[in-house]
Amino acid sequence: MAHVLLIVNPYASRVDERRLREVASALRRAGSVETVRTERRGHATELAANAAAEAVVVFGGDGAVNEALNGIPSAVALGHVPGGGTSVFARALGLPRDPVAAAARIADAVVAGRTRRIGVGRADGRRFGFSAGLALDAAAVRRIDALGRTSDGRRPGDLRFAYELVRMLGGRRFRLEPALELDGLGRAAAVLVANCDPYTYAGRVPLRVAPQARFELGLDVVAPVRLTPRALPRFASYVARGKGQESARDVLYAHDVDRIEITCDRPLPLQVDGEDLGDVDRVVFEAERDAVTVLV
């Protein structure tokens, strides 16, 4: 029987004591379970890096699993029980949205030895599991963070993120002109970097920024040249339909790349897996292929 380290973010939007007991009970089908709650920013990275277990399972949102990705040893299998408002990483791997059902699937995978090797992305060395962005979506992430947390410490969910993004784009004066240079590709207003498809979700609706992106490949880069009230509906249709952006004249697109260097005209916000990394005037995105073993 395996030993499983269960890392829990107690402030994630779908984590409570009842669900935690049920998740731990489901995981015990695979063996012994050691439960540890995160206490501070970066704690999940430390816990994953020092795990004396065959498997590390994160019960929390994408921020917690991002931290674990940045600490997990290559030989230790990683599982994600969706506990956040969006939990893109778990859903992109095909796991159920229900935490207990996902935990049961992960326990079965531990018992059967059912794993998958995936690549991850890096933004100036910081790993990300599913997406990163410069300027546009990073600004929306920052707006969500500025709203603060509820009285129980929870962050607004993906629907609020979608609302804030639409609100930001819908302003009469909204306009994003080219403000950065993608080495070898050209100038653009914003950059979206995908490690898988979909890029994220709005509730149950997948947003397919880079429909060709896969965990087993390199990174896909999608960069709208400019975003204006006239161009927005066209770009939104690409994302909703999951087609058109690859050949669009007003979008720079690169598929399955290992490295892309970006220089900004001025400092712009950067996010990875929904985590604000501050403003940067230069960033290097890299693909780290065949990097992590995940339980599926």
Choose the final residue of a domain: 83, 113, 143: 113
DSSP 173-218: T--B---EEETTTEEES-EEEESSSSSEEETTEEE-SSTT--TTS-
- For residues 241, 246, 251, 257, the Cα torsion angle rounded to the nearest 10 degrees is 120
Amino acid 140: pLDDT: 86
Q: Is residue 192 part of a domain?
A: yes
Q: pLDDT band for position 144 (50/70/90)?
A: confident
Amino acid 72: pLDDT: 97
Q: pLDDT band for position 147 (50/70/90)?
A: confident
The average pLDDT across 272-282 equals 97
What is the overall mean pLDDT for the chain? 92
The average pLDDT across 77-96 equals 96
Which of the residue ranges 140-144, 183-187, 191-195, 292-296 would you say has the lowest mean pLDDT? 140-144
Q: Is the pLDDT of residue 152 over 60?
A: no
Q: Is residue 103 part of a domain?
A: yes
Domain count, the chain: 2
Choose the final residue of a domain: 113, 140, 174: 113
Structure tokens at 115: 């794993």
* Same domain for 141 and 55: no
* Same domain for 189 and 271: yes
Amino acid 203: pLDDT: 83
Which of the residue ranges 71-80, 236-245, 280-289 would you say has the lowest mean pLDDT? 236-245
Choose the final residue of a domain: 64, 82, 113: 113
Q: Supply the CATH number for residue 96's domain.
A: 3.40.50.10330
User: What is the sign of the dihedral through the CA atoms of 14, 167, 124 and 290?
Assistant: positive
| Dist CA 195 CA 219 (whole Å) | 5
* Same domain for 175 and 33: no
| Dist CA 62 CA 158 (whole Å) | 11
* Same domain for 106 and 45: yes
Using one digit for the tens of pLDDT, what is the confidence trace for 71-84?
999 999 999 999 99
The average pLDDT across 214-230 equals 94
Amino acid 204: pLDDT: 87
Q: Supply the CATH number for residue 214's domain.
A: 2.60.200.40
Amino acid 83: pLDDT: 97
| Dist CA 258 CA 287 (whole Å) | 5
CB of 82 within 8 A of CB of 14? yes
| Dist CA 119 CA 97 (whole Å) | 22
Centre a 10 Å sphere on the Cβ of residue 280 and count the other Cβ atoms it contains: 17
| Dist CA 250 CA 234 (whole Å) | 10
* Same domain for 195 and 143: yes
The whole model's pTM is what? 0.92
Q: What domain range is 56 assigned to?
A: 2-113
Q: Is the pLDDT of residue 161 over 90?
A: no
* Same domain for 141 and 93: no
Using one digit for the tens of pLDDT, what is the confidence trace for 25-70?
999 999 999 999 999 999 999 999 999 999 999 999 999 999 999 9
Residue 3's Cβ-side half-sphere holds a number of Cα atoms within 13 Å equal to 4
Q: Is the pLDDT of residue 151 over 80?
A: no
Q: pLDDT band for position 155 (50/70/90)?
A: low
* Same domain for 164 and 278: yes
Q: Is residue 118 part of a domain?
A: no
DSSP 25: H
* Same domain for 277 and 149: yes
* Same domain for 280 and 143: yes
Amino acid 228: pLDDT: 86
Q: Is residue 296 part of a domain?
A: no
* Same domain for 232 and 153: yes
Using one digit for the tens of pLDDT, what is the confidence trace for 169-187?
655 566 889 999 999 999 9
